[in-house]
Amino acid sequence: MAFGDAGGHRPPSIFSTQSPLGRPRTTAGYKSEYQYETIHLATLDYQISSLSTEKSNVEKQINEYLYLNQEKIDPLINELLKKQTYLANLKFRLGILDKDKRDNVEESYKKYQEYQQERSHLDEVFNISEEEKKLLKVQFRKIVLKIHPDKIDEKFNLIASKLFNKMRNSYEMNDLREFEKYVLEIEQANLPLRGIPSGESEIRLKTVSLNVKLNELLESLIELRKSKTYLLIKNEVNIEEFINKKAKILLSEIELLDIEIGEFEQD
């Protein structure tokens, strides 16, 4: 059945005249708006799938760097800051460094130790067992039925999309701790399921849902690409080689500190 009233006028679409990526929307060349929305829905699905893959790859690259950094660089930075603190106290006792500068060095060491503590769960993410991965997959499939935006009452679609994306990201990263945290949030939210809509209404509701999801993915991907870590590593072909170069520089700095500490200890 063609869209429009007896006079042949098309009813206004419930959707924006702009696509999520900013291109003007048109139904020219389609038999009906229903056909247009069906094809547009498939396009949105493809865009979301592509962006999800890209976002996951960026996150994996960042986490690979953070993990290697934690494994190889953090101990060296910790050793460097520890020696700097020791040297600052030596100089303070000898009267050649004032208290404020000594306190600043100690504060830097303290903040770095706190930072390390916050990131300590990265080991769990990268060392997850195959059995844990299978369990995670089963849990993910179960919880999707409770939170997928297509299954939740449209009034709660925005909340559902945010919770679903957070949960899915932690699942894709094999981050059990974060995944379990978001599952608990989902259970507590207890969002109502929607009724069974007609085919036409279902497509329109899905399109709205996918538009929200696509925009959120775009925003989160932009934020990831603006992060200091990604800007640091985006041009690195081999992250492990990049980490090894950093390690050599830090080892040289530690050696120089040992020499300086030795000189002041003799005094």
- Each residue of 43-62: pLDDT tens digit? 888 888 888 888 888 888 88
Q: Are residues 232 and 112 in the same domain?
A: yes
Mean pLDDT (whole number) for 209-226: 81
Q: Are residues 242 and 158 in the same domain?
A: no
Residue 198 clears pLDDT 70, i.e. is over it? no
Q: pLDDT confidence of 119, banded at 50, 70, 90? A: low
228 part of a folded domain: yes
Output the pTM of the full model.
0.51
Quick one: pLDDT at residue 147? 78
Of 157, 180, 195, which residue constitutes the final position of a domain? 195
Q: Are residues 173 and 96 in the same domain?
A: no
Q: Are residues 187 and 231 in the same domain?
A: no
205 part of a folded domain: no
213 part of a folded domain: no
Q: Report the candidate in 157, 160, 158 with the shortest Cα–Cα distance to residue 186.
A: 160
The torsion angles phi and psi of 173, rounded to 5 degrees, stand at -90, 0
Q: Are residues 60 and 90 in the same domain?
A: yes
184 part of a folded domain: yes
Q: Are residues 62 and 115 in the same domain?
A: yes
State the CB neighbour count (10 A cutoff) for residue 232. 13
214 part of a folded domain: no
Averaged pLDDT of the chain: 77
Q: What is the pLDDT of residues 60-84, one digit of tens each?
A: 888 888 888 878 898 999 999 999 9
Report the range out of 111-120, 214-223, 240-249 with the highest average pLDDT: 240-249
- Three-state DSSP class for 191? coil
239 part of a folded domain: yes
CB-CB contact of 92 with 102 (8 Å): yes
Q: Are residues 39 and 50 in the same domain?
A: yes
Residue 41 clears pLDDT 60, i.e. is over it? yes
Q: Are residues 175 and 165 in the same domain?
A: yes
Domain count, the chain: 2
Q: Are residues 84 and 145 in the same domain?
A: no
Quick one: pLDDT at residue 7? 41
Q: Which range marks the domain in which residue 56 is found?
A: 33-127+221-266
Q: Are residues 122 and 245 in the same domain?
A: yes
Q: pLDDT confidence of 12, banded at 50, 70, 90? A: very low
Q: Are residues 38 and 95 in the same domain?
A: yes
Q: Are residues 51 and 121 in the same domain?
A: yes
